[in-house]
Amino acid sequence: MLTAQARRNLRSDALMIAAGVIVAAALSWSGWIDSVLAAALPIQVAAFISGMFFTSAFTIAPASIALARLSVFAPLSVVALWGALGAMVGDLVIFFFLRDRFAADVMGSLRPSVMRHVLASFHLGFLKWLSPVMGAAIIASPLPDEFGLALMGLSRTRAAVLMPISFAMNWIGIYLVSWFAHSI
């Protein structure tokens, strides 16, 4: 049973994600992203900033388009390296500062007995090692990193472990997005 606040937060999150997709499509179709990326910033800086925005559900669509367009102007490895560094910084910001609201929304959507069971599961047995692995896979996927970071946060993953995982998984994800866009 969702609480009223959790329902409002989830509805607000869904609307913001939809708005991000619409803005990304409009910016892509207008050619604005191409002109800004080509003229304003060095490729490394543009890839780093785009990578920072590649981590959030709210900004993943425009960031993916920007990274894909950057792969036209620069080698895939350069875009993936600088984008992954930016994504790692973005993941750390989410991990340390923004994870509490998302975790509260998820926990607010669960009944108290289910919530206790879920929390206990992440500290015992196979979920203790499976949740960081699932979190890393989600970070590498086109899904927003918040879900993977929430799994890693629930399993109490340390920042020293998160950083190389975040970099490697985001590098894979950004390289694949850039490769796919470059090959089209």
* Higher pLDDT, residue 26 or 76: 76
CA distance 152 to 172: 18
pLDDT over threshold 60, residue 139: yes
Scan for tokens 């994800």, then name that residue. Answer: 173
State whether residue 133 is helix, strand or coil: helix
Pick the range with the lowest mean pLDDT from 19-28, 49-58, 122-131, 151-160.
122-131
Pick the range with the lowest mean pLDDT from 32-36, 73-77, 130-134, 166-170.
32-36
**Mean of pLDDT values over 43-70:** 85
**Mean of pLDDT values over 19-38:** 67
**Mean of pLDDT values over 23-45:** 69
CA angle 169, 63, 140 (to 5 degrees): 15
For residue 120 the two structure tokens come to: 């206990």
**Quick one: pLDDT at residue 117?**
61
**Cα 65 to Cα 60, 101, 162, distances in angstroms:** 9, 27, 26
**Mean of pLDDT values over 151-180:** 86
What range defines the domain where residue 148 resides?
4-183
Mean model confidence pLDDT for the chain:
77
CA distance 173 to 121: 28
pLDDT over threshold 90, residue 81: yes
- Statement: the pTM of the whole predicted model exceeds 0.75: no
For residue 59 the two structure tokens come to: 């900004």
Q: How far apart are the first and last CA of the chain?
A: 45
**Quick one: pLDDT at residue 172?**
92
